[in-house]
Structures are given as C-alpha cells and as structure tokens.
C-alpha cells in the first residue's frame, strides 16, 4: 500500500526547511494581524469555531463541518474546477456549522486562495485543513484568515504537539487535534486537546474503517468536543455517531460529489431534526 502520509509529510517538511523566513518574524506578523482583525468590523473578526459546533449540536443534534476539497491522492479529481465561494454558500444554506478547506496544493489541489474565497462568501468559521508541521504553518493559517487549524498527532512528536496547541490558542485559532487510534488519543489528551477529531481514514493507506469512531467514542472524557471524520455517507451514519457521543462530523467527498450540495448537508441532519 502507498504510504500517503509519509510522502505528504516529507514534502511539507522539505518545504518548511527550504523556507528561510524567520519563525519569530512570522509569529509577530500573525499577532499583529490578529490585533488588526479584532479591531476591525465584526465581519473580519475571528469566528468562533467551537461555539458554532456547540450551537449546531444543540439545534440539530449534530454539527456538520462541510469540506471543500478538489481532489484526493487516493480518489483523484473530485471537482477540480469548483468555485470555493459558491460551494461555501451552498454548505451554509444546507445548515453546515463550519467549513473545512484543503489548502494543500501538491496532493489535494487546494490553495490559500480557496480558503480566502470560501470564508469571504459566508459567515461560517473555517478550518484550515492541511498538514501542519511547524509554527510557520499555524501562523500562516491565522494570516490567511482561518479560524481553526488541524494538528495531526501522527505527524507530530509530543513536544511539537504541545507547542503548536499553545501557539494556535495564542493566535485565537481553534486547534482540531486529529487521532486515528487509542494511543494517539492518549497523546492528544495529555497535550491538553479539547477539540478532538477521530479520522476513520488511515492516512498511510487511505483505507476507511467506518466503525473506528464508534469504537473510540466512549473513550472521550467529559469536556472534550469530539468530531468524527471520513467515511460518513448519510443520515444513518450521523445518528450512530451522535449516539456514540460525537458533537460533529466532518464530511468531504460525499458533499463535494453531490449534485445538490445544500440538500446533501441538510440530508445528513434530517434524521436528527
């Protein structure tokens, strides 16, 4: 099986090593940008990612994080010519609580511009979905306007995970900490994660185990907001995951491939209305 995660991380780490920007300078720029956003009108201030998930769960039994993704390393093109703004509006109309936008270009066909255009088109908080390997990536998420950032436990050692969690919070980004099994969950909790995603897709093989989130749901302690990711195809899946204790689902391929994306989001929530 192809080792997708290893290849992707190798590419991102090489790019980080080749980037000669001083990290302290980037951190300072991110802080200044955040201050400017807070001082600006509400339309440009940071959006409450976690609060939006909690509201979605309270109102409809489950919150949906709808993903904008052009392609996948394992599936190829999904919709390479999609318009991020149009898709964002469709998702918002359908009842999504938040957006996830792939910004990785080499493997997923995404970009910073995709995130910027999606966020500008709607009122939803936005997760930068990418492979974070260092502080520059967290700062870049803030600078491009993201409201949340993905931290993958399998991609980080314990020290880096703790440091990036702290930096994200310092920059008013919600850190979504992604795990794939019980040992990774233990590491995430030890680092202080409060928003935890269980990815049912093995990032090394890209195979999906659609029962993984159900198995791990009972291991989430009180106070942790749990998100199920990947392999979610319909309202029945959403009901099962809600019963297992999840507050939100992150859904990409099912929605991107839908001919009516607004209805597809609403359909995920229909059984919980």
Domains and CATH numbers, the chain: 4-270 (3.20.20.70)
Catalytic status, residue 178:
yes
The Cα–Cα gap between 247 and 62 comes to 5
pLDDT, one tens digit per residue, over 96-114 is 999 999 999 988 999 999 9
* Active-site pick, 69, 72, 92, 97: 69
* Active-site pick, 129, 184, 258, 263: 129
The pLDDT, as a whole number, for residue 57 is: 96
pLDDT, one tens digit per residue, over 211-261 is 899 999 999 999 999 999 989 999 999 999 999 999 999 999 999 999 999
pLDDT, one tens digit per residue, over 64-86 is 999 999 998 878 889 989 999 99
Catalytic status, residue 59:
no
Furthest C-alpha separation in the chain: 51
**Model-level pTM?**
0.85
Q: Which of 131, 84, 82, 127 is nearest to 106 (CA)?
A: 131
Q: Please, what is the average pLDDT of the chain?
A: 87
- Would you place residue 272 in the very low, low, confident or very high pLDDT band (cuts 50, 70, 90)? very low
Catalytic status, residue 129:
yes
Catalytic status, residue 199:
yes
The Cα–Cα gap between 207 and 199 comes to 11
């Amino acid at each position: 099986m192809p080792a997708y995660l290893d290849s992707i991380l190798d590419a991102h780490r090489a790019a980080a090593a080749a980037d000669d920007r001083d990290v302290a300078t980037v951190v300072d720029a991110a802080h200044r940008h955040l201050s400017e956003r807070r001082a600006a009108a509400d339309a440009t201030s940071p959006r409450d990612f976690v609060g939006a998930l909690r509201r979605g769960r309270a109102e409809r039994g489950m919150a949906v994080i709808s993903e904008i993704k052009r392609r996948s390393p394992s599936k190829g093109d999904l919709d390479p010519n999609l318009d991020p703004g149009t898709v964002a509006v469709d998702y918002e109309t359908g009842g999504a609580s938040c957006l996830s936008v792939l910004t990785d270009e080499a493997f997923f066909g995404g970009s910073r511009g995709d995130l910027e255009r999606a966020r500008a088109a709607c009122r939803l908080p936005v997760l930068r979905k990418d492979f974070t390997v260092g502080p520059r990536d967290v700062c870049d998420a803030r600078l491009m306007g993201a409201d949340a950032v993905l931290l993958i436990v399998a991609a980080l050692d314990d020290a880096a995970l703790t440091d990036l969690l702290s930096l994200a919070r310092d920059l008013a980004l919600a850190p979504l900490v992604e795990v794939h099994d019980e040992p990774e969950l233990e590491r995430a909790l030890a680092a202080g994660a409060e928003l935890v995603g269980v990815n049912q897709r093995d990032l090394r093989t890209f195979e999906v185990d659609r029962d993984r989130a159900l198995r791990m749901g009972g291991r989430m302690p009180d106070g942790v907001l749990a998100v199920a990711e990947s392999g979610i195809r319909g309202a029945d899946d959403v009901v099962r995951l809600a019963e297992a204790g999840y507050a939100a689902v992150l859904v990409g391929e099912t929605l991107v491939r839908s001919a009516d994306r607004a209805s597809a989001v609403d359909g995920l929530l229909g059984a919980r209305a």
